[in-house]
């Protein structure tokens, strides 16, 4: 709830003899003042950390006439650049038979096959080693995984391709599990950049 100060001003000395004395009330919103002070302080701290980089605060942008083109150019989506080949961290959101549906923060989830694990089994009777392949069961719902993104959106590539994909998928290669060290490095990098 906003805290407000009010001030009464008697304007009777300006209108003596014309009307009865009347009182006006003006409200000052304290939160706006604090917000402006905090924004200015945050901008100063960022300038000290980064160096000679010009930073425009949100209040400066609201005063200017900002076009959609300028906002789109400054958006994080445009700053990504070409995403093909980039390595991302995603989370398994669904498992259907041996397909993993992984959310990496893009428009669509990517579908990757569950990886095969090959084990060597020794037959007790013949003492022969035989390789046995099975699907890795460690990839379950909520598991964080590392991906290499091939296509951000497969909407235009699904017709006539050798691999059967639906319209609402991204194409990526599953690289493996994410370690705790990689998660901490990712969080640290996000805190430094933003």
Percent of the chain with pLDDT over 70: 56
pLDDT at 148 over 80: yes
Section 21-40 average pLDDT: 53
Residue closest to 7 by CA, chosen among 36, 35, 29, 32:
29
Residues 132-135: contacts with CB within 8 Å, 24+ apart? Answer: 135/98
Q: What are phi and psi of 141, to 5 degrees?
A: -60, 130
| DSSP H or E run through 4 | strand 4-10
pLDDT at 37 over 70: no
SS3 185: helix
Domain limits, the chain: 4-64, 87-193
pLDDT value at position 105?
82
pLDDT at 16 over 50: no
pLDDT value at position 110?
87
pLDDT value at position 88?
84
Class for the domain spanning 87-193 = mainly beta
Q: How far apart are the first and last CA of the chain?
A: 29
Let me know the angle formed at the C-alpha of 81 by 45 and 185, rounded to the nearest 5 degrees.
Answer: 55
| DSSP H or E run through 30 | helix 30-50
| DSSP H or E run through 89 | strand 87-96
Give 182's pLDDT tier (boundaries 50, 70, 90).
Answer: confident
Largest CA distance in the chain: 120
| Neighbouring residues of 151: CB distance < 8 A, sequence distance ≥ 6 | 84, 157, 170, 171
SS3 101: strand
Report which of residues 118 and 4 the model is more confident about: 118
Euclidean distance between CA atoms 50 and 47, whole angstroms:
5
Euclidean distance between CA atoms 146 and 87, whole angstroms:
7
Report which of residues 128 and 55 the model is more confident about: 128
pLDDT value at position 193?
53
pLDDT value at position 45?
66
pLDDT at 141 over 60: yes
């Amino acid at each position: 709830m906003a805290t407000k100060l009010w001030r009464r001003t008697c304007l009777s000395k300006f209108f003596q003899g014309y009307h009865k004395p009347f009182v006006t009330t003006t409200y000052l919103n304290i939160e706006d003042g604090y917000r402006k002070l905090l924004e200015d302080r945050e901008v100063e701290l960022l300038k000290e950390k980064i160096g000679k980089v010009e930073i425009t605060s949100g209040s400066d942008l609201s005063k200017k006439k900002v076009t959609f083109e300028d906002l789109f150019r400054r958006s994080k989506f445009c700053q990504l650049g070409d995403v093909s080949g980039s390595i991302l961290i995603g989370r398994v959101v669904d498992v259907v038979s041996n397909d993993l549906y992984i959310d990496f923060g893009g428009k669509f989830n990517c579908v990757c096959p569950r990886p095969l694990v090959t084990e060597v089994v020794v037959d007790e009777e013949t003492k022969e080693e035989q390789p046995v392949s099975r699907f890795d069961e460690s990839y379950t719902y909520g598991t964080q995984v590392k991906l290499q993104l091939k296509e951000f959106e497969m909407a235009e590539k699904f017709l006539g391709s050798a691999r059967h994909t639906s319209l609402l998928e991204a194409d990526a290669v599953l690289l493996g599990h994410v370690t705790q060290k990689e998660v901490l490095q990712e969080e640290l990098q996000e805190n430094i950049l933003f």
